[in-house]
Amino acid sequence: MKSILLTLVLFLSIPSNEINEIRLAFKDASKNEENARAFYDLVKSEKYSDEVLYTAYNGASEVILSKYIDGSMEKLKYFKQGAKKIDKAVDQDEMNIEVRFVRLVIQMNTPEFLNYNENIDEDKEYLLNHYSNCSNSIKKMISEYVSMSDSFSTEEKKQLK
């Protein structure tokens, strides 16, 4: 009986461990090319239990990696492919605050000339309105990002603390 319970606990903890690893890699991915490639490789290495969240992070990994791709056509291809996946994830589960957060972070850090910024206000408002209902791990991730961002007012930062 104990071995069955232990196996069940280990099995149920795998998805949260894999997503925590992805969250950490996402946080550092934009710092340099090595981190961007590591994040991309991690996300591509296997399918994860939450398909919508996987799609969002998969798209984010492509957008972030596009910064380091040689050739403007190839760079644009990666960017568009990734942005499309992120938007698909939001369309599949528009109530998922983590998916909205991923899109918000990517759009806030995308150069304006790429025109991938149309959902910033909408996603920001969604975060502000639903932050109190999300898990502590998601709150921590959002709070850490917001505290370092210039795109949030002092009042918004207080709300997302």
Q: What angle do CA 70, 114, 88 make, to 5 degrees?
A: 95
Q: How confident is the model at residue 2 (pLDDT cuts 50, 70, 90)?
A: very low
Tokens of 15: 């998805």
Q: Where are the domains of the chain?
A: 2-159
Count of beta carbons in the 10 Å neighbourhood of residue 5 = 9
CA separation for the pair 80, 59 (Å, rounded): 9
| Cα four-point dihedral sign 49, 51, 56, 62 | positive
3 state SS of 68: coil
- The alpha-carbon radius of gyration of the chain (Å, integer) is 17
- pLDDT exceeds cutoff 60 at 98: yes
pTM of the model: 0.88
pLDDT, one tens digit per residue, over 57-75 is 999 999 999 999 999 999 9
Give, to the nearest 10 degrees, the angle between helix 97-108 and helix 51-66.
10
- pLDDT exceeds cutoff 70 at 1: no
The dihedrals phi and psi of 49, each to the nearest 5 degrees, come to -65, -30
Which of these, 57, 39, 43, 137, lies nearest to 103 by C-alpha position?
A: 57
pLDDT, one tens digit per residue, over 122-145 is 999 999 999 999 999 999 999 999
